[in-house]
Chains A and B, each alone.
Chain A
Amino acid sequence: MAASNLSIGHRGSDRLALDGVSFELPAGKTLLVLGPSGSGKSTLALAIGGLLPREIPASMGGLLSLDGQEIRGLPPTTVSARVGMVWQDPDSQLVMERVEDDVAFGLENRGWALPEMRARVPDALVEVGLQGLERQRSRRLSGGEQQRLALAGALAPSPDVLVLDEPTANLDPAAAVAFMARLAALRAEGSTTIVLIEHLVEAAWPMADLILALDGDGHPIDVGTPAEVGRRSAAKMRDVGIWLPAAVERRIRGIQLAERPARPRPERTPGTAPVIEARDLRFGFDRAEPVIRDVRLWIQPGERIALVGPNGSGKSTLARLLVGLLRPDAGTVRLLGDDPARLSPAELARRASYVFQDPERQFLATTVEEEILLGLRFVERASARLLMGRLGLPLERFGRRSPYRLSGGEQRRLSLASALVREPAVLVLDEPTFGQDRLGYEALLEILDERLADGATLIAATHDTRFVADATDRAIELDGGWVMADEVVA
């Protein structure tokens, strides 16, 4: 596969998403695409899959070719027969109800004969470690299993090229490692060309034969082997906000910013009123299978709490219970002395802010500016502008855009901004660092430190072990709805 001077602009946008990208990827090798949020990584993935400009209107300049044939010129059947795609959200890529039907779906569409399908489907499931789950309903699988199922569906037709766009973004650390291990095994076979966009750079960097680094405007910073790119451009990549593996970071430590200063821990004075107190909480969407079981919590003002645990362990549910967005089946919650589910919306908003896991599902306005100003008093507007600037979303440039047209990382920062602009006693953030590049991450930590300096309490549900270490001082680990551990973060 090769690209030469490839430029892509989305229709309705005045700037290019990708600008002058060139690379040559030999068959069977792996390309890792790195770049800060909004750098056009997903656009490149769509173009390789032949979906852009065919399905999504866009203008394209330069060349992008597969085995010397320009992808744009190939009929859709040829491209989809040769390129498999995996995205980050399993919910929007699993089509059929049951596991084996979903794997077979891509084969049916390509007109495979029945005996071949019967032979290939179990093989593809073995390749991703899902053997034995053929008749299972895909909605009943865990997030990690669903994502491996999506991989099986893409692998089943034995594509020449596999494109993965942040495949582990929704997975807990263990599931993400398992997914990357499957990918590493696939790469070792050497029969599939892989284009990988991945923020788990520690696992992805060693897998790459070639790295393409992009800056925030879609210009290429460097293309080369990991060793070359690490030597030539590490500092520059760091500056535009790209995460680097620890080994590469260590080499450029000379220019590294100072380590984060140690924070004073909040004093635990017995007898102070808790900001949140939960007693014997129990909650289930389905009565037979509680999501939260007998949880007791005592949270003091100024604590920085991480809720950790695997996908589906009840982190988000507990977070919603603690600020009264859900009512427990049994037990009580007190937020500053009152049942949060009974507070008026205005009073609740004064006491707590909440950022939901999926940023798209909490947008209430049609432009970025309306979204951030929604419900704010006039005097707070200036600080909202300032905050958006610090989070890399200046209103001059982003204000009139639709929140839905932002990149994933930008959407996350907008939803964070709408919570951080208020000054409530409790900040609840569900996966706050999701899809964040280094610049977004640093800005978030800095703003959080300011907000928490005057005694606010943080509760963050997160898979991000780095964030747990950098921003929190108490980790509550959930599994199957039980609190498994409640300890000080070292």
Chain B
Amino acid sequence: MIGARVELDDRRLESPLGRVSPVVKLGIAILWLVGLALTLHIVPPLILAVAALAAGGSLGRIPAQTLSVALAPLWVAAFGIGVSNMLFATANSDPLAAELVHIGPIRIAADAAVGGLALAARVIAIASVGAVFTLTTDATHLADSLVQQARVSPRFAYGALAAYQAIPRFGEDLTTLRQARRVRGLRGGWHPGLLVGVLVLAIRHADRMALAMDARAFGSGPRTFYRPLRWSGLDLVVGGGAIAVLGLALAVRS
């Protein structure tokens, strides 16, 4: 939803997963996604999803309720993608395919069912990894870590952080512009002019922000860090554990 922005309580930030370097977590997420691309089976993505959720709940201290609320729309999406792929797979029209269900005009081949379930499992895995990452990672910590540990340019990282902070503002801009149209007697809830308006406001906000950052000497020379980050044993343990889980998940398929 527009306007939603994750705000973490300190308890979660001080959890082991909250303290792991965001770069490590980002690395794990990317590695797992690449790993998922290597298999078409149902079980490996489910193992990764369960591992991510278990880590989030225990090491990340994410309350089960928060996690389920965050994932609810994605469960629905996973279900929809699974079912539609099951129903409309080309395997269903193959007269030789092993038949699983045949009710009236609906015929689902076994291959189609497996394909649909595998896709759904994949969506669940990606969503779970993404949710655990966002629910245990502070935006400032992520930007600091990208700059200090992954050598990302400060201009990009802190610029993106400032933009991220402004997300709720875009939602407010849109609401106000819609109200302004209505009270001036203009019809149409979603006039294209609104998008232009939101864009203009976003650019103006970015301009002012850039000016304020420049006035505070941003990008004027070498930077020091108020929160110096170092690699820790925890990063090694979590990173190693994640690789082991991925290896295990991929091994299960055979």
Contacts and interface: CB of A to CB of B under 8 A. Distances in A.
B204 interface: yes
Interface of A: 49, 51, 55-56, 76-77, 80-81, 83-85, 87, 89, 91-93, 95-98, 100-101, 104-114, 117-118, 121, 135, 137, 139, 153-154, 157, 320, 323, 325, 344-346, 348-350, 352-354, 356, 358, 360-364, 374-375, 404, 418
Contacts of A96: 140, 161
Interface stretch (B72-80, B89-97, B104-112, B180-188): B180-188
B58 interface: no
A403 B182 CA distance: 19
Contacts of B204: 360, 404
Given A51-B214, A107-B226, A97 B184 contact: no
Contacts of A92: 205, 208-209, 212
Given A153-B216, A356-B176, A325 B182 contact: yes
Contact of A353 (B183, B197, B200, B225): B183
Contacts of A83: 215
Given A49-B215, A95-B158, A364 B197 contact: yes
B216 A95 contact: yes
Contacts of B211: 51, 55-56
Contacts of A358: 176
Contacts of A87: 208, 212
Interface string B147-182: 000000000001001100100010011001101111
Given A81-B220, A109-B220, 9 more contacts: A80-B215, A81-B217, A85-B212, A85-B215, A97-B138, A108-B226, A345-B183, A354-B179, A361-B176
Looking at B211, B218, B219, the one whose CB has the most chain A CB atoms below 10 A away is B211
B193 interface: yes
A116 to B, nearest CB: 9
Nearest to B226: A104
Main DSSP-derived SS at the B contact region: helix
B215 A108 contact: no
B7 to A, nearest CB: 7
A350 B185 CA distance: 8
Given A85-B212, A358-B176, A361-B201, A117 B224 contact: yes
B215 A77 contact: no
Contacts, number: 160
Contacts of A80: 214-217, 220
Nearest to A285: B3
B223 interface: yes
A114 B183 contact: no
B173 A361 contact: yes
Contacts of A344: 187
A346 B179 contact: no
Contacts of A56: 211
Contacts of A98: 140
Given A364-B177, A364-B193, A76 B220 contact: yes
B139 interface: yes
A109 B217 contact: yes
Contacts of A76: 214, 217, 220
A380 B212 CA distance: 42
A119 to B, nearest CB: 12
Interface in B1-35: 7, 10
17 contacts: A55-B214, A77-B220, A80-B216, A85-B212, A91-B169, A101-B226, A109-B220, A139-B165, A345-B183, A345-B185, A354-B180, A356-B180, A358-B176, A361-B176, A361-B180, A364-B184, A404-B200
A49 B139 CA distance: 30
B213 interface: yes
A106 B217 contact: yes
B228 interface: yes
A45 B210 CA distance: 16
A121 B224 CA distance: 14
Contact of B162 (A95, A109, A375): A95
